[in-house]
Amino acid sequence: MVFPGLDRRDSAATPGSVPGAAAAPTVLLLHAHPDDETLATGGLMARLVADGARVVLVTGTRGERGEVVPGPLKHLEGTPELAATRVFELAAAMRELGVIDHRFLGEVDARAEGLAPRSYLDSGMQWAPSGMAEAAADAPADALSLAPFDEVVADVLAVVAELRPQVIVSYDERGGYGHPDHVRMHDAAVAAVAAVAALGSVAALALVAAEAAAAVGAAVAAVPPSPCRTKPESTSTPSFPTQQKPKTPTSSCHSARTATRSFAHSRPTAPS
């Protein structure tokens, strides 16, 4: 297993599992936008799936305000169709990585009990003189980075309570390169870990940034060459307003490409 000590004893049982059988270890990844998961932790996710772990991805936004690199999809930047394209690409990437449980933060399966479902919007960003990203001045009112922090944490905790993951993976304290949505997901991950640890019924959770970074590198080295180099162009078309065909091949071939360093929170097995 990629994470030392990750075993099959203290995770929530997966649907359809045999009663009394050891549950697969669960790893929860918290990312901000579609494609972040593939660019930052795609190799890790594929390796974990291959090792038999239950891998669950929660994405904070649909990347409505993402920057699009020059190419056939550049015209989608700043349009309503961009989000639909990125969601389509994300679903395709999850199929390639073997991840079958993906959720958007704020939807029914990633929402605090008693709260109506909602969508968190992409906050957007601008480049600061330092070379790091910073919050855009025109971030929408429903932006992830502007949403009440307690609400964001409550949504994350709802997923944690359901899954009881042994590892939570997200960004470092800078969000990789400073994007406010990345930072918000990092902060929510840290707060969720602290809240679970404060319950006193489980052992404390520890930040293991170095180990996570090493695991990502090892995972990427172990995964076969990207299907982006070999997969023929898809002829399928997603159903969104303008019927724009997403760039193909889709796996690990998203239009926005920014490397991000990740960290993980790891919880030792709870005492029996």
Q: What is the per-residue pLDDT for 233?
A: 37
Q: What is the per-residue pLDDT for 113?
A: 97
Q: What is the per-residue pLDDT for 179?
A: 94
As given in the structure block, the two tokens for residue 191 are 């707060």
Q: What is the per-residue pLDDT for 215?
A: 53
pLDDT in tens, the chain (272 residues): 666 666 655 545 555 444 555 578 888 999 999 999 999 889 989 999 999 999 999 999 999 999 999 999 999 999 999 999 999 999 999 999 999 999 999 999 999 999 999 999 999 999 999 889 988 999 999 999 999 999 999 999 999 999 988 888 898 888 888 999 999 999 999 999 888 877 753 433 333 343 454 455 454 445 454 443 333 333 343 433 333 333 333 333 333 333 334 444 444 343 33
Q: What is the per-residue pLDDT for 129?
A: 92
d(CA 82, CA 240): 10
Q: What is the per-residue pLDDT for 176?
A: 85
- Nearest one of 62, 48, 64 to 100, comparing CA atoms: 48
pTM score: 0.75
- Nearest one of 143, 146, 145, 152 to 188, comparing CA atoms: 152
Q: What is the per-residue pLDDT for 104?
A: 98
